[in-house]
A and B are shown apart, each in its own frame.
Chain A
Amino acid sequence: AQSVAQPEDQVNVAEGNPLTVKCTYSVSGNPYLFWYVQYPNRGLQFLLKYITGDNLVKGSYGFEAEFNKSQTSFHLKKPSALVSDSALYFCAVSLPFSNDYKLSFGAGTTVTVRA
């Protein structure tokens, strides 16, 4: 079974400060890892993914994430947060070559960036 944990329900930061959203995973094998963002009453927007290669992955809107195999983590980061980054963030994992790359999502972290 595969699972994803987002230990923080909410993250609050001031605009201009660094933003980190934590994610840990528990899967057997080498996972594919994803971050998505969701704005109210909208679908999910893809931010970035880790498949293989460089552990630091750069994605959309200035976000990046670092894959840490020893800690089984894939934390999302942004050096300088914007008010418009306020949204719900989901980490997700899938196993390669299985079940159409079925995704398991974390519970989500609500990010609030205050002006």
Chain B
Amino acid sequence: GAVVSQHPSWVICKSGTSVKIECRSLDFQATTMFWYRQFPKQSLMLMATSNEGSKATYEQGVEKDKFLINHASLTLSTLTVTSAHPEDSSFYICSARDATSGPRKFFGPGTRLTVL
């Protein structure tokens, strides 16, 4: 099946710094990518949807200036957490779909962000 990777798998950073998380579709062209946030033992909350070459659509309550999403190519989307604070510590998961996969999405393995 289609494979989605994320890098890094985990990151620790100091408060106030910015962190970039990459999401790549390895064997298909991801026309749409989704970014989720998951707190411990909780469900996935959709943060934003991005289509290649377009600005991301953010969910209500998600700060677009804090969580910068770029989907510059059909195989890569990035999420940059700007001026990170401890409350941004979470598990971030991306998913992707192509034009032929219909409603099915392929999920990355997730990135654990810890802000000290």
Contact = CB atoms under 8 A, between A and B. Distances in A.
Interface of A: 32, 34, 36, 41-46, 49, 51, 88, 90, 94, 96, 99-108, 110
A43 B4 CA distance: 10
A106 B97 CA distance: 20
Interface residues of B, number: 26
B49 A43 contact: no
B32 interface: yes
Contacts, number: 61
Contacts of A105: 43-44
Interface in B67-116: 91, 93, 95, 97, 102-110, 112
Interface string B39-54: 0011110100101000
A90 B45 CA distance: 12
Contacts of A88: 41
